[in-house]
Amino acid sequence: MRRRDLLIAVLAILVVWQVFAMVVNRPILPTPIEVAQVFFVELQSGMLDHFLASLWRVLASTLLAIATAAPLGIILGQSKRMNSLLAPVVYLLYPIPKVVLVPIVLLFLGIGDLPKIVIIYLILFFQILVLVRDQAASLRPELILSVSSLGAGRRALFRFVYFPASLPAILTALRQSVGTAVAVLYVAELFATQKGLGYYIYLNGSTLFNYPAMYAGVVAMSLLGVGLYFAVDWLEHRLCSWQTAA
C-alpha cells in the first residue's frame, strides 16, 4: 500500500472523529486535537511505562509462540502419524475463544506479567501451529528428496527447508491474530495488574473520569496494534519477497 494513501486514510479518520466530537459536544468524546495534546503530556508522565509493559507482554508471548508452535507445526506437517494423533486435540482447542480462559489463567498464575503473556501465547500458538502444519504438509516430497540427496539430514532439512518454508505461514498467522492478541491483552490487563494500557484506559475512564487521558490510552493501544501489524508487514516484505517477485 502506498504511503500517501495511508496518510489520506488517517486524515479521513481524524476528520470524521473531529466532526463527531463537535456534533456530540460532550466530555465523553473529546476532539482529536485535545486528545493529541493530552497524549504527549501523558506519555511523559507515566503512559509510556504502561505502553512498554503492554508491548513487552505481546512481544514475549509472540516469540514464545513462534519458538514452540513453529517446530511442533513442522513435526505435525511432516509426520502423518503424529498429526493423526494430535489433530483431534488441535481441532477441538483451536476454535475455543481464548479470552474466556482469562479468569482461569489468572486463577492459576496470579498477578504479574506471566498470566497476560500466557493468554496471548495461547491465541498465537494455535494460529501459528495450524498454519505452519498445513504449510509443512504441503511441501512437495520431491523437494525434500532433492535436498536430502545433497547430503541434508534432519537438522539441515530443518535449517534449509522447513524453517524458511514456514516463515510465510508464521507471518500470516501473526498478521491474522495480532489484532485479537492486543484485544485480549486489553481484557487481561483489566485484572490483577497496575501496569499496561488496559489498566491505564480502565483507570482513566471508569475511576478518574479523565476522558481525554482515556482516549490517549485508546490511541496508544491502537498504535500498538497498528505498529505490530506494520512490523509483520515489513518482515514479510523483507523475508518473503520471493512470493511477490514470482
Partner 1 sequence: MIQFESVTYAYPNSVVIFQDFNWCVERGKAWAVLGPSGCGKTTLLYLLAGLRFPTGGKILIDEQPLERPRPHTGLILQEYGLLPWATVRQNAELGLQIRSFYGPDGKHAPSNDRPTGDVEPWLSRLGILSQADKYPGQISGGQRQRTAIARTLALQPDLLLMDEPFSSLDAPTRESLQNLTLELVAEQKLTTVIVTHAIEEAAILGQKILLLGQPPNTITQTIDNPNYGEPGFRESAEYLTLCRDLRSRIGGQ
Binding mask 206-245 for partner 1 (x = CB under 8 A): ----------------------------------x-xx-x
Ramachandran region, residue 3 (left: φ > 0; alpha: ψ -120 to 50; beta: rest): alpha
The three three-digit cell numbers of residue 131, written as one number: 498454519
Among 60, 82, 152, 223, binds partner 1 (CB under 8 A): 152
The whole-angstrom separation of Cα 133 and Cα 63 is 18
Kindly tell me which of 4 and 155 has the beta carbon lying closer to partner 1: 155
Alpha helices in the chain (DSSP H): 3-24, 32-42, 48-78, 80-93, 102-109, 113-137, 141-148, 154-157, 163-188, 197-202, 211-239, 241-245
Any contact of residue 145 with partner 1 (CB under 8 A)?
Answer: yes
Kindly tell me which of 19 and 156 has the beta carbon lying closer to partner 1: 156
Any contact of residue 44 with partner 1 (CB under 8 A)?
Answer: no
Any contact of residue 95 with partner 1 (CB under 8 A)?
Answer: no
Among 155, 172, 176, 200, binds partner 1 (CB under 8 A): 155
Among 48, 164, 208, 234, binds partner 1 (CB under 8 A): 164
Nearest to 189 by CA among 60, 127, 125, 102: 102
Under 8 Å CB-to-CB from 72, ≥6 apart: which residues?
129
Kindly tell me which of 5 and 142 has the beta carbon lying closer to partner 1: 142
Any contact of residue 159 with partner 1 (CB under 8 A)?
Answer: yes
DSSP tag of 7: H
- Nearest distance in Å: CB 71, partner 1: 18
Which residues here bind partner 1, judged by CB under 8 A?
Answer: 140, 142-143, 145-153, 155-156, 159-161, 164-165, 167, 240, 242-243, 245-246
